[in-house]
Structure 1
């Protein structure tokens, strides 16, 4: 009986010890997870877009859209190159390229993400001052239904637009000034009407991560910055590898033979059409 009783006591003690060990391990795992969540939250907070305001501060230092010459510009080697700007990676998007019907010159891009879309165009701006404020005031004066509001990119414009069937949808127009350029974005769908939508957050981040390359072309203020057909990271690497060992020119010499690339400023009154649809998988790899 004594041995039997001792055995029960030992078994109970072993179970208690094991349970305590498991509790310690669980506590350590919880602490590590909490630490990781805290570090992630700190990183996210540092890169997060600001709350709605009339001014957009920190461009080129804490957040974008970025210029290729910004000190803190993100690594855009894996971005899609459209000439005037580089588009970052985002899963589950469809990209349409806007082009002139007459010249086939690329004018801009529209990124669709679920029930929202973002149209992006880049314009030349004066050397000593921004373009967005003047453009915005002119636009508001010409469109009585438009109104200015505070947004994450500073003062933005809300504009109801009538679509087929007489239905009106809300668009949200933003502009950010950089060194001798202005990047304009037109949000529609949930990204224009619901500031708390996940689609709004994703497309806001997408716009802020764009990297602009103004180039050295002599352009008048408000001239669209010349663009070209999409060049994937793989295509850029292949072109660079093919040119290895040769004397490299300045700028984007490996893109000089891209068909229909304009040599100078683009006209702002050209008609546009959907030129290319790019379905995004893990990388920019297929143009369909």
Structure 2
């Protein structure tokens, strides 16, 4: 997914020369042909919901829900044509990806719950095609993983899109246009990258809470908890 630039095409940047003089190893330049994108990379300017750690592309016909762990937002769900795309972003080591390890953990968890899981090639590389027991029925699910620079994005496609390639293509395009904002703070590998409500949604929540308090009725929420397919531990 990431490639080295040809060093003969242009001289090394001054920063790399300074690193070499100090005996430090320069980090290889990364080139990307498609997303999901890191926030420091060049990417298309289009409408996205700003969730802090994720910028999620939205189109007409999409319904966006949020995954909550207590009061913390840890993931987002895009619902489209009887299908769901669930995305979570996690911290990852600087010099290695974690999708291979996570994929094995997911497969073990699915099989332990009585389901099936096998690897297959997908548009983002190796993915996991699974059937997960739910209400006595084996539901088809696709687990997709993308290793980025110091982050890992896990996407889960369920519902009709897990079997319908045409519907799946729409949700795959969402994954390709996601922007991950890792931040510079130290984080342990597999630690969720924290998300937050966009400003307009936070304002709506505050206004609804105030109205609910005044009317003495339960608080209303603009987002619902999305379906949890599996947890990354």
TM-score w.r.t. length of structure 1: 0.57
Q: Which residue of 1 aligns with 2:145?
A: 175
Report the Cα distance in structure 2 between the residues aligned to 1:95 and 1:152, rounded to whole angstroms. Answer: 23
Report if aligned partners of 2:2, 2:31 keep a CA contact under 8 Å in 1. no
- 1:79-102 alpha-carbon deviations (Å, 9 max, x no partner): 11111110112110111111123x
Report the Cα distance in structure 2 between the residues aligned to 1:147 and 1:192, rounded to whole angstroms. Answer: 14
Give the unaligned 5+ runs of structure 1. Answer: 1-55, 236-274, 279-288
Corresponding residue pairs, total: 176
Residue 137 (structure 1) shift = 2.3
Secondary structure (helix, strand or coil) at the match of 1:129 reads: coil
Q: Which residue of 1 aligns with 2:122?
A: 151
Q: When you count helix as a share of all residues, which structure comes out higher?
A: 1
Report the Cα distance in structure 2 between the residues aligned to 1:60 and 1:67, rounded to whole angstroms. Answer: 11
Report the Cα distance in structure 2 between the residues aligned to 1:155 and 1:178, rounded to whole angstroms. Answer: 15
- Of the three residues 62, 72, 82, the one matched with 1:115 is 82
Q: When you count strand as a share of all residues, which structure comes out higher?
A: 2
Report the Cα distance in structure 1 between the residues aligned to 2:49 and 2:36, rounded to whole angstroms. Answer: 15
Alignment of structure 1 residues 1-288 onto 2, 5 Å:
61-70=32-41, 72-75=42-45, 78-101=47-70, 104-144=71-111, 145-164=116-135, 166-195=136-165, 197=166, 199-231=167-199, 276-277=222-223
- 1:19-64 alpha-carbon deviations (Å, 9 max, x no partner): xxxxxxxxxxxxxxxxxxxxxxxxxxxxxxxxxxxxx578962210
TM-score w.r.t. length of structure 2: 0.69
Report if aligned partners of 1:123, 1:182 keep a CA contact under 8 Å in 2. yes
- 1:194-228 alpha-carbon deviations (Å, 9 max, x no partner): 22x2x211100011100000011211001101111
Give the unaligned 5+ runs of structure 2. Answer: 4-29, 204-220, 225-233
Say which one has the larger Rg: 1
Go from structure 1 to structure 2 and tell me whether the alpha carbon gap of 1:232 and 1:213 turns closer, same or farther (over 3 Å shift). farther
Report the Cα distance in structure 2 between the residues aligned to 1:232 and 1:128, rounded to whole angstroms. Answer: 37
Report if aligned partners of 2:2, 2:32 keep a CA contact under 8 Å in 1. no
**CA RMSD of superposed structures (Å):** 2.2
